[in-house]
Amino acid sequence: MTPLIDDTHDAELQSWVESANHPASDFPIQNLPFGRFRLKGSSAPLRIGVAIGDQVFDLKAAGLIATDDMNALMAAGMDERRTLRRAISMALRRGADNSESRAALLPQSDVEMGLPCHIGDYTDFYTSIHHATTVGKQFRPDNPLLPNYQWVPIGYHGRASSIGVSGESFPRPLGQLKAPDAAAPVLAPSRRLDYELEVGVFIGRPNARGEAVTMADAESRVFGIALFNDWSARDIQAWEYQPLGPFLSKNFASTLSPWIVTTEALAPFRSPFLRPAGDPQPLPYLDSPANREAGAFDIQLEVWLQTARMREAGQAGECLMRSNFSDAYWTVAQLVAHHTVNGCNLQAGDLFGSGTLSGPAPEQGGSLLELSQGGKHPIPLANGETRTFLEDGDSVILRGYCERSGMRRIGFGECRGMVLPARQR
């Protein structure tokens, strides 16, 4: 499917919501990401809105939708989604403001955000060959990349119930830890707590059980993309992950940004998908001309760390690394095609994690496991602190944005979570 660019992407388009016109805003009128909100302190059901500048536009109050069911909205076909995007764009364009539209506008500072939809199932993939290779070298120096990696989009089914929204905090997890020279494991708080820089891909239109989604149809099943931090307890993981893979090391917390940037908004920021020379080409069911031409998403990603000392000093934090989603070894369309080739039925609101998104350079590791080389090389911070893994009171902030000449910059907001001390048993 060829990404469609139309007048809703026009870089000169302005909104009557003046904060959306600021060049640094993540949420100009060209973006229009979806989320669910309610007034702070309210117990009212979550409503559907789009971010515009520093405001939230309540779509139901504006008369643009008749439902508060985000999953139902996500399940709509591409034509319906494009029609809704155009209607929202028209309502927010400069000169189109009226009393009904203004009444549907709320400051983001006055609302609390929920998860953007009901997440029924969650699958975490392993799409970064740079991450797979760097981590593999720590365990298998002579053979870091397993033989199936370049053929199969590797993934595992995770736990949806422990996914929270940006701004959350969570206690350091407990689990079994075993030192290399110990005769037996012990139950203790994780000492090697880590973040993972990922994006979350949301499924929109479902497929029937037994129906394999083709590459030609795969992107029509995707609603959009958010930022995703799949926190990991590396010491718990090292003891438990064989033979069945991650379990308690991953299911204690994952943090998601509250806004889904739609594939329509991302249309101007697509890139060719090219395998390095000498690598095997994907099997036919994972290949298509459209995927080769524009299957990748050019999304700039950043990880920031704010320690407790930085927060007390009023410091916003320090950027630890930058990478790009376009460096992933597998595309979003390939993930959908592979996930369904066996007949698996995806549902609206299902979430795919990309896996840790590291870049090709050593300083582009998408986790502390990589940046500190397994804890062997502490990372110096500008305020004199160091980190190998996360300490209590640390906040990790993920940020993402898209920029391209001739197009309006759009962003994803932030994905923030803080580590609390472990709870006593």
Based on the fold, state whether residues 355 and 285 are members of the same structural domain: yes
Helix (H, G, I), strand (E, B) or coil at 93: strand
Active site residues: 131
Are 200 and 325 in contact, with CB atoms under 8 Å apart? Answer: no
pLDDT at 425: 76
Residue 179 and residue 215 share a domain: yes
> What is the overall mean pLDDT for the chain?
96
Reported as a single tens digit per residue, the pLDDT across 170-193 is 999 999 999 999 999 999 999 999
| Domain identity same for 283 and 316 | yes
pLDDT digits (tens, 9 = 90+) for 96-130: 999 999 999 999 999 999 999 999 999 999 999 99
Segments forming the whole domain that contains residue 38: 7-113
Task: Judge whether 85 lies within some domain.
Answer: yes
Q: Do 144 and 259 have their domain in common?
A: yes
pLDDT digits (tens, 9 = 90+) for 42-77: 999 999 999 999 999 999 999 999 999 999 999 999
- How far is residue 424's CA from residue 397's CA, in Å, rounded to a whole number? 27
The pLDDT score that the predictor gives to residue 142 is: 82
Give the pLDDT confidence score for residue 3 in this predicted structure.
76
Q: Which of 91, 113, 135 is the last residue of a domain?
A: 113
Q: Could you tell me if residue 412 is inside a domain?
A: yes
**1 lies in a domain?**
no
If asked whether residues 185 and 304 sit together in one domain, one would say yes
Residues 138, 211, single domain; the answer is yes
Identify whether residues 69 and 149 lie together within a single domain: no
Instruction: Check whether residue 107 and residue 183 sit in a common domain.
Output: no
What CATH number corresponds to the domain at position 251?
A: 3.90.850.10
Question: Given this model, what pLDDT does residue 84 score?
Answer: 98
Q: Are residues 308 and 416 both part of a single domain?
A: yes
Q: Are 197 and 412 in contact (CB under 8 A)?
A: no
Give the whole-angstrom CA distance, residue 200 versus residue 208: 22
Residue 425 within any structural domain of the chain = no
Taking the C-alpha atoms of residue 397 and residue 110, their distance in angstroms, rounded to an integer, is: 21
Decide: 225 and 201 in contact? Cβ < 8 Å: yes
Instruction: Please tell me the predicted confidence (pLDDT) of residue 2.
Output: 67
Q: Of 45, 79, 113, which closes a domain?
A: 113
Residue 410 lies in a domain: yes
pLDDT at 409 over 80: yes
Q: Which residue has the tokens 């959306």?
A: 20
Average pLDDT over residues 355-367: 97
Residue 97 sits in the same domain as residue 215: no
Classify residue 333: in a domain, yes or no: yes
Helix (H) or strand (E) holding 225: strand 222-229
Per-residue confidence (pLDDT) for residue 22, from 0 to 100: 98
Shared-domain flag, residues 177 and 299: yes
Place of tokens 């020379």: 277
Let me know whether 41 and 12 are in one domain: yes
Q: What is the mean pLDDT of residues 84-94?
A: 98
The CA distance from 229 to 231, in Å, is 6
Number of domains within the chain: 2
Q: Is the pLDDT score of 225 beyond 90?
A: yes
**The pair of three-digit structure tokens given for residue 70, joined into one six-digit string:** 């985000």
Here the CATH number for the domain that contains residue 107 is 2.30.30.230
Strand-pair partners of 169: 418
Q: What is the predicted pLDDT for the residue at 138?
A: 86
Q: Which of 59, 80, 113 is the C-terminal boundary of a domain?
A: 113
Q: Tens digits of per-residue pLDDT, 377-408?
A: 999 999 999 999 999 999 999 999 999 999 99
Nearest to 114 by CA among 59, 202, 34: 34
2 inside domain: no
